[in-house]
Amino acid sequence: MLWSKWKAGPQADVSGRVLVSFTDFTANGFLDLPGAVRAGFALRAAWPRMPGAVGMWLWTAPLQKRCGSLSVWTDEAALRAFVRTPAHVAIVRAYRERGTMHSRMWSVDASLHRSELRDLAEEDMSLPPNRNCCPSDASSAAMHRRVGGPAFVRDELPPRPGGAAPVTSFQTPASASQATGHDRDA
């Protein structure tokens, strides 16, 4: 796994609880991966001006056709605002048929060392690939909802080691859109 350098956002000195978002895109083919990585770096360039952004890394695992980000936000509202930006929406639309995207979020204390955040993300990558499969029926542990566009499936998972708060998982599969009747346009 290759990591970019930490890119601080305008809220880099925040204290208290922060929201961590880990995205994991698996490309359908090797030729789709370089463009996805370039798109991530294009979004990263705006990070110092991104409202509510604490900071972020980009990562890639080229032999696995995977790439993504580990971003830290002041709160969920800041993350949702980013997800709705025209630049992010354009990337989602360009790559949604070129692979599979999984995303998890959890809340941690802002004083948690950055290396511990990366350890949590690498632990998440080691989970089985189908860990986010859609439930066949709605339960109290999963609910369909819309966050900035596509239908998402949200799973409450157990707390992480070291006291991190429970993880929340989002995915945007075609089956979730069809099951809820929501369109997939972001």
| 136 occurs within a structural domain | no
What average pLDDT does the structure give for the chain? 73
In a domain, 51, yes or no: yes
Q: Which helix (H) or strand (E) holds 100?
A: strand 99-109
* Measured distance CA(68)–CA(62) in Å, rounded: 11
In this structure, what CATH number is given to the domain that contains residue 63?
Answer: 3.30.70.100
Calculate mean pLDDT across residues 60-76: 94
pLDDT, position 122: 80
State pLDDT tens for residues 161-183. 454 444 444 333 333 333 333 33
110-136 residue pLDDT tens:
888 788 888 877 876 765 444 443 333
Q: Quick check: is 171 in a domain?
A: no
The answer to whether residue 150 sits within a structural domain is no
For 108-122, the DSSP string reads EETTS-HHHHHHHHH
Number of domains present in the structure of the chain:
1
Token duo for residue 29: 């083919």
Report residue 70 CA to chain centroid gap: 7
Write out the residue range of the structural domain in which residue 60 sits: 2-131
Residue 158 is assigned to a structural domain of this protein: no
- In the predicted model, what is the mean pLDDT of residues 49-68? 95
Q: Is 186 helix (H, G, I), strand (E, B) or coil?
A: coil
Please report whether residue 159 resides in a domain.
no
Separation CA 61–CA 66 (nearest Å): 5
- In a domain, residue 176? The reply is no
User: Model pTM?
Assistant: 0.69
Domain for residue 56, yes or no?
A: yes
